[in-house]
Amino acid sequence: MSQFVLLATLLCLLGYAAAGKVCGRPREVENAVFRPGRVVYNPQDTVTYSCIPGFVKDSGNERAVCLMLGNWEHATLKCKRHQCPKPGALENGKVRYTDITYQSVIYFSCQEGYRLRGVNESECLLSGAWSAPFPVCEKVTCPPPEIPRFGRLDIYKPREGNISTYLDVVSYGCEHNYALIGYENATCRANGTWSHVPECRDVKCQRPTEIPNGFMSFAPYRKYNYREMVTYGCNPPYTLVGLRTSYCDKDGQWTQKPLCQAPCHVPTPKANVLHNGRKTRVDEIARQQIHHGDIITYYCKKKKESCSYTVPSQCHNGNFTVPNCYKKPGMLSVFSTDPSNMTPCPQETNEYNATAKYH
């Protein structure tokens, strides 16, 4: 029986060959299949291509025809991946992708201070839809801030639901006589926690010490509370430099105390000088003594130009230096002009005019 079938097949093939040549399988088209599928095709037989799932026609025709010479007039179909809808912008966030076709994945992220509610990625499915709904970026929230022992919240404005959001700020304070250790402000951070919680500490200071050449206001021997103050002064003729008050600071130490700086003796009694904005002789100044920080301005002579110029000298804690240009009046001083009565040198005049212009 099998020999009969084989013989019949050969006779058929010989018959087709007499009428025309047959075609083998048509060529494959990328991302497409064809039907019907057979081993051989007769002249004028056609096959039709279609894109596989996930792909759609891009261009070309879908049919191939077996020609009389046993060759194919091939299909020119080209298939491309189908696209999912283009994602829009993510408010307060970012959408990253390189493609939006089948099997592509898009990624979502939020700006600092915001967190995703929903998925962080979505895939383009065979159906042409995204695998998951797009997320939203919600502002980070912080729970009510912790209050330290002996502390309080001076500034706290929670939102609805008694929560705070990213970058909201609260301000702390402490009960009377307690020192706040740390920053007084705390901020709601991007991770949903407050930046810090300060400490309210019971601080004490020992009795403050005296200052040389000065005195301190009533200060009994006891421990002092945080922010308690004492006041200092100087014995005459010393000059107080710095703040008069010192207070017990949060480290248990007193803030910087002032200094009492010594006066200066001016050793040139016959010199004509400028002092406190007026021209005077040094021996007309009480006890020839000036306070710390005071300035005496001397007149000096330029012999070649027959003019005078000024040089200031300042008292610094008992130290006073007479300018080198000052010449002590000698026996013949009655025959020479005192520098204070001479015409100011040109440069000196220009400096004076410039100073007067801006004052």
What does the domain layout of the chain look like in residue ranges?
26-81, 93-139, 143-202, 204-261, 267-313+321-354
- CA–CA distance, 296 with 315 (Å, rounded to integer): 8
Name the superfamily (CATH) of residues 143-202: Complement Module, domain 1 (2.10.70.10)
CA-nearest of 312, 308, 309 to 274 is: 312
Instruction: Report the CATH fold assignment for 267-313+321-354.
Output: Complement Module; domain 1 (2.10.70)
CA-nearest of 263, 317, 260 to 288 is: 263
- CA–CA distance, 21 with 41 (Å, rounded to integer): 9
pLDDT confidence tier of residue 144, bands split at 50, 70 and 90: very high
Q: Within a 10 A sphere around the Cβ of 75, how many other Cβ atoms? A: 21
Q: Are strands 32-35 and 46-51 parallel, antiparallel or unpaired?
A: antiparallel
Span 289-297, average pLDDT: 97
CATH class of 93-139: mainly beta
From the candidate CATH numbers 2.10.70.10, 3.40.50.280, 3.40.980.20, 3.40.50.2000, the one assigned to the domain spanning 26-81: 2.10.70.10
State residue 305's pLDDT score. 80
Span 175-203, average pLDDT: 96
Instruction: Kindly report, residue by residue over 51-77, the tens digit of the pLDDT.
Output: 998 888 999 999 999 999 999 999 999
Instruction: Kindly report, residue by residue over 9-48, the tens digit of the pLDDT.
Output: 444 444 444 455 899 999 999 999 999 999 899 999 999 9
State residue 356's pLDDT score. 36
Q: Considering the chain, what is the average pLDDT of its residues?
A: 89
pLDDT confidence tier of residue 359, bands split at 50, 70 and 90: very low
Instruction: Report the CATH fold assignment for 204-261.
Output: Complement Module; domain 1 (2.10.70)
State residue 17's pLDDT score. 45
State residue 16's pLDDT score. 45
pLDDT reading at 358 higher than 50: no
- CA–CA distance, 124 with 131 (Å, rounded to integer): 6
State residue 337's pLDDT score. 83
